[in-house]
Chains A and B, each alone.
Chain A
């Protein structure tokens, strides 16, 4: 695949060119208030110096609130009370610049849920597959980063169309997909170069600084019920608040709630992020709750990430090691520790 560089003084033009003359929405790391986020932003607001964005980039394809369909109640017009899909036609494709390799891998995990063995989520598919994802490799991983612990790498190419790293204040880019090569080669500021060798060396050097793999062999081979019934869950759950912060910042958490809202003219059906930490998430109409206390709810999250997803996704871990939940958990429930406990 082709390799390129973008010199520091050409960055601004390059970022602007990524929108293909406004045909694509550019999402890139930039400050929103005092938080670094993956957002639609001007070329000169983009920063290259960061550990990772505060929230995961999943909202680019799976917004926290997303209208799915709408209906009207006007009986003088056609199809009253019949839901019609929203947002699928003319969805403007995006280009994500600066997504970290761990997050890109997380989106692949989510993609396998949104496009599972039986159903395809058209809202996700349309947004995800029409986007171009240019990753930015980590040369200075953050204190809670552990992608290398869960089968990833700061230079992982999974789920990316191209991978870049910061070189002399500018960028070195390697195309991964043919689409990306096609996309990149004519862009302003892009020059052909050879960077793969340097990239491979950097990769080795950065990986060497990072944590080694977390041993999950026994989790992988163990029976579900044996892990499910381990005694440590209760201890961890003691301090869990069921606050759901971990689920909201996690790049692979994909759960949502479907809600209808209406007025006298019509209504919409939308989905909103939901969290398995919530009591109401599983409660039956009868009042019976299969996960009645915080212990079951917290266990569910870790079982899902570390046991269920690997079972369903050929062994790939549901945690990609971005470390956001470790940083933000108010009671320091650390998925790395939980993984160790699960592994016995």
Chain B
């Protein structure tokens, strides 16, 4: 399906769902006000629905808005959004009956940082279809192949078409990709502790501690985050290297067995930190130990909320 066709389909579906009372609000995207942006859009009326669009520039995972959201919600969902929504139902953050997932066959989102690395000139307009991004500025224009500027997370997506978890699907199934083989992580694991630490500390050296990664994360719905706890205060609030490093380790740890690799955290990071490197460590471990991939199943419990008496225990004396 072409982008305009998808847009029409999304708008029609949204109107129908509102009319049928399947949802009081449809959460999707609308065109942004600046080049290469889209805005999450909360459609409550037919007029609102006409603004719903699909875009390659979506940054955040729309499931982030779901926990404790009042009333019936329909979500125009990429595969990762749908998976996160499933996770939230499994974790009892939203009731299944209040959630209607409109899955969209997604072929990935683009990484604006990558685009700017390829095209550093200021971009004044961006046009898109499902395969190309056309950029233009003052006196120039260029075209990029979308696959060349995909977000890293999208390159190893295991659920581009959320056909099994969506309540309905828009678009034809997108060809599956080969999943993350963690080759880089495995290579890193062979290195010395000093090298590993230097690498990971280096990743977060620019961190501002703004916690945008946390706020954009569909898993981070705790009423009080550990970084905001005051008695005791676990983390100093300065730009201390270890405080920052610990934040990132714990953030990833809290997402272990739950992270759907949507890449929202990286996309929103104002300093473009490769935050998923921390998540991937545990993602790989969870898959290896418990063969668990989050957000693909309405029934299965996340691995850290359950146990098996014969869980691996080699590391314990």
Least CB distance from A52 to B in Å reads 10
Are B124 and A248 within 8 A (Cβ)? Answer: no
B60 located at the interface, meaning its Cβ lies under 8 Å from any Cβ of chain A in the complex: yes
Are A239 and B42 within 8 A (Cβ)? Answer: yes
Which of A12-20, A183-191, A324-332 is the contact stretch? A324-332
- Selected from B34, B40, B123, B239, the residue in CB contact (under 8 A) with A239 is B40
- Selected from A239, A245, A331, A334, the residue in CB contact (under 8 A) with B210 is A245
B41 cross-chain contacts in A, Cβ below 8 A: 239
Tell me, in angstroms, the Cα distance from A182 to B5 when the chains sit together.
65
Which of A120-128, A129-137, A140-148 is the contact stretch? A140-148
Least CB distance from B289 to A in Å reads 32
B32 located at the interface, meaning its Cβ lies under 8 Å from any Cβ of chain A in the complex: yes
Are A243 and B211 within 8 A (Cβ)? Answer: yes
Least CB distance from A57 to B in Å reads 15
- Selected from B113, B212, B236, the residue in CB contact (under 8 A) with A244 is B212
Are B39 and A259 within 8 A (Cβ)? Answer: no
How does the 8 Å CB contact mask read for A226-268 relative to B, with 1 for contact and 0 for none? Answer: 0000000001001101111101110000000101010000000
Are A245 and B212 within 8 A (Cβ)? Answer: yes
B206 located at the interface, meaning its Cβ lies under 8 Å from any Cβ of chain A in the complex: yes
Least CB distance from A327 to B in Å reads 6
B216 located at the interface, meaning its Cβ lies under 8 Å from any Cβ of chain A in the complex: yes
A279 located at the interface, meaning its Cβ lies under 8 Å from any Cβ of chain B in the complex: yes
Are B228 and A332 within 8 A (Cβ)? Answer: no
Are A249 and B270 within 8 A (Cβ)? Answer: yes
A257 cross-chain contacts in B, Cβ below 8 A: 237
B206 cross-chain contacts in A, Cβ below 8 A: 32-33, 35
Are A245 and B42 within 8 A (Cβ)? Answer: no
Interface residues of B in 237-258 (CB under 8 A from A): 237-240
Are A332 and B238 within 8 A (Cβ)? Answer: no
B138 cross-chain contacts in A, Cβ below 8 A: 140
How does the 8 Å CB contact mask read for B267-283 relative to A, with 1 for contact and 0 for none? Answer: 11011100000000000
Are A330 and B237 within 8 A (Cβ)? Answer: no
Q: A interface vs B, CB < 8 Å?
A: 32-35, 51, 64-65, 140, 142-144, 235, 238-239, 241-245, 247-249, 257, 259, 261, 270, 272-273, 275, 278-280, 323, 326-334, 336-337
